[in-house]
Amino acid sequence: MNERPKPAVVAVGSIHYDIMVAAPDRPMKGETVTGHAWRPKFGGKGGNQAVAAARSGAEVCMIGAVGDDDFGHFLLSRLADGGVDGSRVARLPEAASGMSVAISDAGGDYGAVIVSGANLLIDPHTVLDPALWAGAGVLILQNEVADALNVAAAQAARHCGAMVCLNAAPCRELPEALRSLVDVLIVNALEAEQLCGVEVVDLPSAAHAAETLCRTFPSVVVTAGGDGVAGCRHGQKAIQIPPLPVDLVSTHGAGDVFVGTLAAALAAGETLEAALKNANIAAARHVSTRQQ
């Protein structure tokens, strides 16, 4: 096995085969919309964030699972192309690889449906190997895998002194066993409102939501799309990072680029403010670029 013994970032999470559909608009209930193009794409929050962290200069090891199918072979190849150590990604012959269908409209927004497949069958014991955590500075988690896996990974990370970053997406009730282990919570406007009841409509309200959530978590980041991003440490006022001007192509995957870049910066010892600025720049570049 070709292992990287000392990854700076460990990403535990989902890997999806994305089918991207370009259409003039997203269909309403019962409506059929004629699209004009489609393409396959590497995806899944865990995989996307791992690749983004690697592209930001971090040494990244991925924990996940794919099926022993064409989708899985594609995903493992693209993970390697992204500079991520995928030697610990399980190949499960009894399961289908995770996948999603995302419809991107003419305005650059999108909607998606995921089918988790193998992502829900990742063995929590895979995160217990001490060699995985040697030199690790940051753990990235998301909510596209089982809570038991996230809790096991967070416990292992804390044991070795690594920072636990949770991108709580898609939003769901977090078990107390996980909440108590999170060092940095990262949410978008909708997820922030669902978790703390603060409606995020602009950058000041994103800052208010971050400060509210910081009563529970040591550090919180609230992304507000085109309004910028706010970050806060417990007991401090929130940092507000204004948006950057962009020529919007598509927002798909921008949040994952933000999270991966943020994690890489934190693993490198950057301050929260510096990490937020780096991640904001990377996300702005992403939404302005037509993805392959």
Q: Is the pLDDT confidence value at 216 over 70?
A: yes
Query: Coil, strand or helix: which one is 114?
Result: strand
Domain count, the chain: 1
Q: Spot the catalytic one: 18, 69, 85, 256.
A: 256
Q: Is residue 45 part of a domain?
A: yes
Let me know if residue 227 belongs to a domain: no
Mean pLDDT within 157-183: 96
pLDDT, greater one: 4 or 19? 19
The model's pLDDT over 9-51, given as tens digits with 9 standing for 90+, comes to 999 999 999 999 999 999 999 999 999 999 999 999 999 999 9
| Residue 232: closest CA among 255, 251, 213, 259 | 213
- Count Cα neighbours of 128 within 13 Å in the Cβ-side half-sphere: 8
Looking up residue 274, the CATH number of its domain turns out to be 3.40.1190.20
Question: CA angle, 245 as apex, 242 and 251 as ends, to 5°?
Answer: 90
Residue 228 counted as domain residue? no
Query: What is the pairing mode between strands 110-115 and 98-104?
Result: antiparallel
Confirm whether 69 is a catalytic residue: no
pTM: predicted TM-score of the whole model, two decimal places: 0.91
Amino acid 4: pLDDT: 43
User: Is residue 197 a part of any domain in this protein?
Assistant: no
Full residue range of the structural domain in which residue 149 is found: 9-182+244-287
- Beta carbons of 185 and 234 less than 8 angstroms apart: no
* Tokens at 149, concatenated: 């896996």
pLDDT at 74 over 50: yes
For residue 218, being part of any structural domain is answered with no
Q: Exposure of 30 by Cβ count < 10 A (0-12 exposed, 13-18 middle, 19+ buried)?
A: exposed
Give domain status of residue 86, yes or no: yes
